[in-house]
Amino acid sequence: MNAYDEYMKGIVVPMRQELTSHGFKELLTAEAVNEHMSEAEGTSLVVINSVCGCAAGLARPAVIEALQQTAAKPDHLVTVFAGQDKEATAQMRHYFEDVPPSSPSIAVVKDGQLAYFIPREQIEDHDVEHIRDHLAQVLEQVAGE
């Protein structure tokens, strides 16, 4: 591993922990993504994590707050890390072929099918409360069915 990879690995640890400490399971390989997507029943909340500022200041806090505020809890909380777990992220994006790659982003998957997608454009330049409320509303519609 080169110095850059080692440096980035150290930086992303707290960014990973922000989600894993709230119940998210990291899917670190393409195989793990395929296993989750083929076996998970019900609703999965998928966060495509990223090192950018809008992930740190907006996406991750909004996801955590939405989960705390809504009664419509997803059955599964999973995450892949764009730019870090490249194969896993590419494989997850394969399941959302009609959606341009976007990170950070948030997907709601129901029984293996994409039910809703919140791209970076709906995260960046929005406030945490707006993103939180948007996601909570989506979860109530999809997971609350």
Helix (H), strand (E) at residue 25 = strand 25-26
Which residues, 6+ apart, have CB-to-CB distance to 62 below 8 Å?
Answer: 123, 128, 129, 131, 132, 135
3-state secondary structure of 38: helix
Catalytic residues, by residue number, are 52, 54
Q: Return d(Cα 36, Cα 43) in angstroms, integer.
A: 11
Task: Say if residues 37 and 95 touch (Cβ distance below 8 Å).
Answer: yes
Q: Could you tell me if 48 and 94 are in contact, meaning their C-beta atoms sit under 8 angstroms apart?
A: no
